[in-house]
Amino acid sequence: MAEHEESSGGVPPLDEEAAWAAIVAGYGQEPPDPPGTRPFRPIENLMLPEEDVKPEPKAPAAAEPAPEPQPEPKPAPKPELGSSITFAPGVGTPVPTPTPGPRDHTPAEPTDEGHFVPPEPELPEADTTAKFAWLAVIGGPVLLLLAVLFQWDMTWWLTTLGIGGFLGGFATLIARMSGDTDDDDDDPGRGAVV
């Protein structure tokens, strides 16, 4: 690359070739840790407190004499992963018997004493007029829908039967509904009767 002229402020130009050479020379080397950082803790030591963490052994130095071997104490059981965080005292410790909770409740078996079983409701018998009225209310729109789906010719009798049947059946059901209230004739409507 072309050499850059000296920038304003008296700062000498950056030697790009020397900077690239330093980067390439240091490729693959791990940079030193910044001051004040703690050493890396392996996963086996995550549950141990900070002061109990032993640093990773480094390459043995030739000048140091080898210490006398001491019998190793029994190894502590391996801590479970993910249990190094304690949210509250006692959390994460095994409980020998769980205390019963609301989901452990089972209702008592019901007894038949005093239990009321309602009888099956009896539907009133529909008379012939009501049956034909319901047939007209439902059958009229169904007939028109079938005529559209099967692309039948929409003749005057088909239209009259579909629309007229619906309107006639609906009017019949409404008229019969208001005629069934015979109880209103006995009530004078003047308040309570003693």
For residues 169 and 131, is the Cβ–Cβ distance under 8 A?
no
Write down the mean pLDDT value for the chain. 75
- SS3 for 86-103 is CCCCCCCCCCCCCCCCHH
Nearest Cα to 40, choosing from 53, 21, 29?
Answer: 53
- The DSSP string of 103-114 is GG--PPPPPSTT
pTM of the complete model: 0.33
- Residue type at 30 in one-letter notation: E
pLDDT at 76: 60
**Residue 12, SS3 per DSSP:** coil
Q: How far is CA 64 from CA 6, 22, 59, 61, 67, in A?
A: 54, 35, 11, 6, 9
Q: How far is CA 130 from CA 87, 121, 139, in A?
A: 71, 20, 14
pLDDT band at 170 (very low <50, low <70, confident <90, very high): very high
pLDDT at 13: 81
CA dist 45 and 41 (Å) reads: 6
% of residues, the chain, pLDDT over 90:
27
pLDDT at 69: 67
Lowest mean pLDDT among 16-30, 70-84, 103-117: 70-84
- The percent helix, strand, coil of the chain (3-state, each to 5) is 35, 0, 65
